[in-house]
Amino acid sequence: MRIVVKVGTSTLAHAGGRLNIRRVELLCKVLSDLKNAGNELILVSSGAIGMGVGKLGLPGRPSDMPGKQAAAAVGQCELMYTYDKLFAEYRHTVAQILLTAEDVKDPRRSRHVHDTLEQLLAYRALPVINENDAVATDEIGIETTIGENDSLSAIVACLVHADLLILLSDIDGLYTADPHKDAGATLIPVVDRITPEILALAGGSGSALGSGGMATKLRAAQITREAGIDMVIANGQQPELLYNLLEGKPIGTRFLGRSV
Ligand code: GLU
């Protein structure tokens, strides 16, 4: 299978922004194993800003644009250093691709991104993608920024005609209500269509360091659905769940791709 896995800051880092070593080691081990089993993988990883905050010892995620961009520039190195080191232990080679909205919107540029990704997969390398936060800014105009990696991973999944997009989050999936507030909330295992009722289940952004939340995940599901690609939201706190997921077990919430 060709699988795009998106991992969020809340999975990769502790609340203060420092690397969650145990979690990331386990994640790289499981992903390496899935590659060894013959799957093609692309990792879309957040965490640049969060890790930059940790490495620079800042009190929190900067709210100003230069602060965020500088933190991303520091954190992106840390992120790739970590992936390079951990995947190398399992003899896998990582490749960094940093994208802006223009790279995926402009047909010529997006064709080049597609060709590079195909070539990397043919080389059996593991592309690790993030938004190019150090240069993509809201200030130049919203058009230059994707802004969050849930949508970016969905765009990438469509670009490479992936079989599956997996969003690893700090929650098990989509619930009938906010499970932090409502004890009666239950996990929705399968979403066939993204109705206004489903959209109404999305709250705001989830954590202090990341920028996602359920709303951006549903936006991602809308993008993959149109391309006929299934998307699963699963809990990144247990990377081994990926084995169960690929064995066909009901894990998290699966958003079915429209038959195309
Ligand atoms: N690109 C941002 C980062 O690496 C994260 C975007 C997101 O959280 O979706 O820090």
pLDDT by residue, tens only, the chain of 260 residues: 999 999 998 899 888 778 899 999 999 999 999 999 999 999 999 999 999 999 999 999 899 989 999 999 999 999 999 999 999 999 999 999 999 988 988 999 999 999 999 999 999 999 999 999 888 765 544 556 777 899 999 999 999 999 999 999 989 999 998 888 888 989 999 999 999 888 888 865 454 444 558 889 999 999 999 999 999 999 999 999 999 999 999 999 999 998 76
- Rounded to whole angstroms, the maximal C-alpha distance in the chain is 49
Q: Which ligand 1 atom sits nearest the alpha carbon of residue 216?
A: 9
Decide whether any atom of ligand 1 lies within 6 Å of the 149 Cβ.
Answer: yes
Q: Which ligand 1 atom sits nearest the alpha carbon of residue 72?
A: 10
Decide whether any atom of ligand 1 lies within 6 Å of the 52 Cβ.
Answer: no
CA distance 121 to 54: 32
For position 237, what pLDDT does the model report? 93
- Give the residue extent of every domain in the chain: 2-255
Tell me the CA distances in angstroms from 158 to 4, 117, 155, one per residue in order: 10, 12, 5
Decide whether any atom of ligand 1 lies within 6 Å of the 130 Cβ.
Answer: yes
* Mutation test residue for ligand 1: of 6, 9, 146, the one with most atoms within 8 Å of CB: 9
Nearest in space to 169 (alpha carbons), one of 5, 3, 2, 7:
7
For position 205, what pLDDT does the model report? 47
Half-sphere exposure of 30 (CA within 13 A, CB side): 19
Query: pTM of the predicted model, to two decimals?
Result: 0.93
CA distance 223 to 72: 26
Q: Which helix (H) or strand (E) holds 42?
A: strand 40-45
Nearest in space to 219 (alpha carbons), one of 164, 172, 154:
154
For position 96, what pLDDT does the model report? 98
For position 229, what pLDDT does the model report? 98
Decide whether any atom of ligand 1 lies within 6 Å of the 236 Cβ.
Answer: no
CA distance 204 to 213: 6
Query: What torsion, rounded to 10 degrees, do the Cα atoms 163, 45, 253, 179 define?
Result: 180
Decide whether any atom of ligand 1 lies within 6 Å of the 127 Cβ.
Answer: no
Nearest in space to 236 (alpha carbons), one of 149, 159, 134:
149
Assigned CATH class of 2-255: alpha beta
* Mutation test residue for ligand 1: of 46, 56, 156, the one with most atoms within 8 Å of CB: 46
